[in-house]
A and B are shown apart, each in its own frame.
Chain A
Amino acid sequence: GEDVEQSLFLSVREGDSSVINCTYTDSSSTYLYWYKQEPGAGLQLLTYIFSNMDMKQDQRLTVLLNKKDKHLSLRIADTQTGDSAIYFCAELYNQGGKLIFGQGTELSVKP
């Protein structure tokens, strides 16, 4: 089946770490993605990970992939108020062509 699930809301204090979690269903997914969407805007690609990797780090962002549990997470270190947005997890379904998105996690960063 095609299903990507995320929790809907996360609230953190400025300077703390944020962890956004996602589960997916297609065990043959080759790539998994994290996108950021600010109000009224399109999707900004934050990072993506190939399915043969367990971890990817890019400045303040760390992606962890657990293929056995089909679980993906995004950690944002030293979260800033500018990180407030909706974060979408997506998998590249069935060997390509179609991205399946979760419903998005709204991250609220309080000063």
Chain B
Amino acid sequence: DAGVTQSPTHLIKTRGQQVTLRCSPKSGHDTVSWYQQALGQGPQFIFQYYEEEERQRGNFPDRFSGHQFPNYSSELNVNALLLGDSALYLCASSLTGSYTFGSGTRLTVV
């Protein structure tokens, strides 16, 4: 049984560009959350999707947006990239209190 799958694993972008990260949840999980982990820090909640709707959002600007598809997979989009957006982006899928994380996408903004 595949766990949470994220793509790509690594990405380098230039300031001002836009990026899309992808996540496939664990089989049977219907809720997807996204987290940003800066170097040396704990993950910070960006937002959560359930039934294709954004259910909850953390303290991130509108440049961060997302989508959930009918098959429960999800995308995270970041517009107008800043150097400070460089981080590990983690996707988690969940069902009844069990949260499983993917290996993350390492985004570097230059």
A residues lining the B interface (CB < 8 Å): 4, 30-31, 33, 35, 41-45, 48, 50, 88, 90, 92, 97-104
Q: Is B7 part of the contact surface with A, judged by Cβ < 8 Å?
A: no
Interface digits, B34-70 against A, CB 8 Å rule (1 contact, 0 not)? 0100000111110010000001101000000000000
- Name the 9 nearest CB pairs between A and B, nearest first: A101-B42, A42-B103, A97-B56, A43-B101, A98-B45, A31-B97, A42-B104, A42-B101, A103-B42
Tell me how many residues of B have a C-beta within 8 Å of chain A: 23
CB pair B45–A99 under 8 Å, yes or no, is yes
Of the candidates A41, A43, A48, the one whose C-beta lies within 8 Å of that of B43 is A43
Expressed in whole angstroms, the minimum distance between the Cβ of A33 and any Cβ of chain B is 7
Complex Cα distance, B42 from A75, in Å, reads 20
Complex Cα distance, B101 from A110, in Å, reads 28
Expressed in whole angstroms, the minimum distance between the Cβ of A84 and any Cβ of chain B is 17
